[in-house]
Chain A
């Protein structure tokens, strides 16, 4: 994007004052190189979001922002129901409550290196990944509804996970207000075979090394030390969330004129929070969020089972579980007034700062963990929420693609890429070499630059860098 289209508020903040139908300013957090590298569509989308009814303060874009659907990926916007605010199915996206959880193993990476290839093989066999994969779990209609209402809490009750995990999950593992009845039969049918599956695309399960510590105290509070072996799981609400997203997006697009809403982009399909459709979508979206939380908890259970057979000395603990495609009802101070807002984060992570009342006791002093997924070659980052609470206490979620999937296919060949990464000590297991090529590390932006800017902008603080060692891709 052309920086001249913005007012440069500081080294990492760029602002567009309202023009046309914009109700609030647009704010992009980036340094000049990241801003210049962003697609022009980000400007269009972040300013379009600023036109939606009931938006509060500003339409924000995180340092990893890129061209999305209606909202930019990396977009954050909050709406006030009492001021005609809306909930947008487009603003949440298809993969509702897609997110990342980080697990500790109680082991150093040196203890895993000698059996890395074998570990990759057994994880690949035990973690259903990729198109057409299923687990052994099949839910009856009643079990499906119980899962949608209970989330990870339901999963733990079924024996998939540990009770101690729950306080390390946003909303303690269960999003209140879920309405299984607002989820269609089609959405439930799509989920019937998909509990405990990883999915495909940019979803992954990685065994990683804590390669660098930036903040020793914060890392210690999260149970991380240099050389530790940890595990990241990135996936979402699977077919159920995709179906809910598609159905409500259509319904909101068709009925927007009935609600007096002019959509600058059909993909911003939304409904007033106070409308029956808005309330029904919130109930379905929260149910999908619980599906994602249950799914990641079940995958964690599979990881524990796998490690018990291969590395029985491992003790798998949960650092935290965060979602980055979601609308959450939260309280924020705006111009000195505390307001109940519905905060949309599309490819953005909640990042409560230290002392926030919703944080578990063990993390209250340090802030909410934020996980920034990179590529399978460049690694990931751990951050924690900063005290400033910018952008409704939000931070980035990943590196963002620099190249489309088809551009990637022109540059890389899957099997050669797998061999090249093996040469760098990174074990890849995937059913699809083409899928690996589409996810080539070079197709992603520099995740380190993204987290540096997030840190400098005060969105979140850098804690640790994670280097991939074993990666299961869908």
Chain B
């Protein structure tokens, strides 16, 4: 697989980086950062960027989500699926995230706004985060990576 084949989209900031990577039919999301929380936040940015350019999204309101899982990998899937659920039910797009993880429990906040089809020109809706290419791990330099394929 072209697991490491990154797309041209992606962004690096002081708090980490996100990118998309190749899957035959769908899209991989990858977040990296100095902490597990930062990697989860960056993966969420990659999720949002599947739908539209992040710069098009304004921060008008926030939602809070919480999830709990027996391991980091499932926690990532739960975090992304919780966001997908809020995107679908609240018709929201998000551009900033904050994650706290204590033990096996994650509490996150997401800032964004309601979908504006004219302004956002949303490309595709995420259906769910999958277990394919799922990984939450640390590199030799100690940085964290959180990734999986998202079905769209």
Identity of the chain A residue whose Cβ is nearest the Cβ of B151 in the assembled complex: A94
Interface size class of A (residues with CB under 8 A): 35 or more
Query: Which residues of chain A from 416 to 439 have a CB within 8 Å of any chain B CB?
Result: 431-435, 438
Q: Choose the segment among A28-36, A157-165, A225-233, A242-250 that binds chain B (4+ C-beta atoms closer than 8 Å).
A: A242-250
Establish whether residues A404 and B127, one from each chain, have CB atoms under 8 Å apart when the complex forms: no
Q: Which of A134, A193, A253, A431 has the most CB of B within 10 A?
A: A431
Asked if A267 is an interface residue, CB under 8 A from chain B, the answer is yes
Give A243 Cβ to nearest chain B Cβ, in Å. 7
Given contacts A199-B125, A405-B26, A407-B22, contact A246 B89 (CB under 8 A): no
Establish whether residues B130 and A69, one from each chain, have CB atoms under 8 Å apart when the complex forms: yes
Asked if A39 is an interface residue, CB under 8 A from chain B, the answer is yes
Give Cα A166 to B37, complex, Å: 51
Q: Across the interface, which residues of A come within 8 angstroms of B120, CB to CB?
A: 131
Asked if A468 is an interface residue, CB under 8 A from chain B, the answer is no
Asked if A401 is an interface residue, CB under 8 A from chain B, the answer is yes
1/0 per residue, CB under 8 A from B, across A243-264: the answer is 1011001100110000000000
Establish whether residues A433 and B122, one from each chain, have CB atoms under 8 Å apart when the complex forms: no
Q: Across the interface, which residues of A come within 8 angstroms of B20, CB to CB?
A: 406
Which of B91, B117, B123, B129 meets A246, CB within 8 Å?
B129
Establish whether residues A410 and B85, one from each chain, have CB atoms under 8 Å apart when the complex forms: no
Give Cα A249 to B80, complex, Å: 14
Identity of the chain A residue whose Cβ is nearest the Cβ of B71 in the assembled complex: A254
Q: Across the interface, which residues of B come within 8 angstroms of A91, CB to CB?
A: none
Establish whether residues B151 and A438, one from each chain, have CB atoms under 8 Å apart when the complex forms: no
Establish whether residues B26 and A432, one from each chain, have CB atoms under 8 Å apart when the complex forms: no
Asked if A190 is an interface residue, CB under 8 A from chain B, the answer is yes
1/0 per residue, CB under 8 A from A, across B120-149: the answer is 111111011111101000000000000001
Give Cα A169 to B52, complex, Å: 36
Establish whether residues B27 and A406, one from each chain, have CB atoms under 8 Å apart when the complex forms: yes
Query: Which residues of chain A from 255 to 278 have a CB within 8 Å of any chain B CB?
Result: 265-267, 269
Establish whether residues B132 and A200, one from each chain, have CB atoms under 8 Å apart when the complex forms: no
Asked if B78 is an interface residue, CB under 8 A from chain A, the answer is yes
Q: Across the interface, which residues of B come within 8 angstroms of A458, CB to CB?
A: none
Query: Which residues of chain B from 82 to 138 have a CB within 8 Å of any chain A CB?
Result: 84-85, 88-89, 91, 114-115, 117, 120-125, 127-132, 134
Asked if A66 is an interface residue, CB under 8 A from chain B, the answer is yes
Q: Which of A67, A266, A406 has the most CB of B within 10 A?
A: A406
Give Cα A268 to B135, complex, Å: 17
Establish whether residues B130 and A267, one from each chain, have CB atoms under 8 Å apart when the complex forms: yes
Establish whether residues A245 and B128, one from each chain, have CB atoms under 8 Å apart when the complex forms: yes
Interface size class of B (residues with CB under 8 A): 35 or more
Which of A41, A132, A253 meets B131, CB within 8 Å?
A253
Q: Which of A243, A249, A401, A405 has the most CB of B within 10 A?
A: A405
Establish whether residues A73 and B25, one from each chain, have CB atoms under 8 Å apart when the complex forms: yes
Given contacts A69-B130, A95-B127, A132-B115, contact A246 B122 (CB under 8 A): no
Asked if B152 is an interface residue, CB under 8 A from chain A, the answer is yes
Give Cα A199 to B7, complex, Å: 24
Asked if B35 is an interface residue, CB under 8 A from chain A, the answer is no
Give Cα A73 to B151, complex, Å: 12
Which of B77, B81, B122 meets A132, CB within 8 Å?
B122
Which of A131, A133, A192, A407 meets B124, CB within 8 Å?
A131
Give Cα A404 to B81, complex, Å: 22
Asked if B8 is an interface residue, CB under 8 A from chain A, the answer is yes
Q: Across the interface, which residues of A come within 8 angstroms of B127, CB to CB?
A: 94-95, 242, 245-246
Asked if B4 is an interface residue, CB under 8 A from chain A, the answer is no
Give B31 Cβ to nearest chain A Cβ, in Å. 17
Identity of the chain A residue whose Cβ is nearest the Cβ of B77 in the assembled complex: A250
Q: Across the interface, which residues of A come within 8 angstroms of B84, CB to CB?
A: 242, 246
Establish whether residues B131 and A67, one from each chain, have CB atoms under 8 Å apart when the complex forms: no
Give B23 Cβ to nearest chain A Cβ, in Å. 6
Establish whether residues A67 and B115, one from each chain, have CB atoms under 8 Å apart when the complex forms: no
Given contacts A132-B117, A249-B131, contact A438 B124 (CB under 8 A): yes
| Shortest Cβ-Cβ A-B pairs, 8 listed | A132-B115, A131-B122, A406-B7, A67-B24, A246-B128, A435-B123, A266-B131, A242-B127
Chain A residues at the B interface, C-beta cutoff of 8 Å: 39, 41, 66-70, 73, 90, 93-95, 130-134, 186, 189-190, 192-194, 199-201, 239, 242-243, 245-246, 249-250, 253-254, 265-267, 269, 400-401, 404-407, 409-410, 431-435, 438, 474
Contact sample, A vs B, 29 pairs, CB 8 Å cutoff: A69-B132, A70-B131, A94-B151, A95-B127, A95-B151, A131-B51, A131-B122, A132-B114, A134-B91, A200-B122, A200-B123, A200-B124, A201-B152, A243-B85, A245-B128, A250-B74, A250-B77, A266-B131, A401-B25, A405-B124, A406-B9, A406-B20, A431-B121, A432-B121, A432-B123, A435-B121, A435-B123, A438-B124, A474-B125
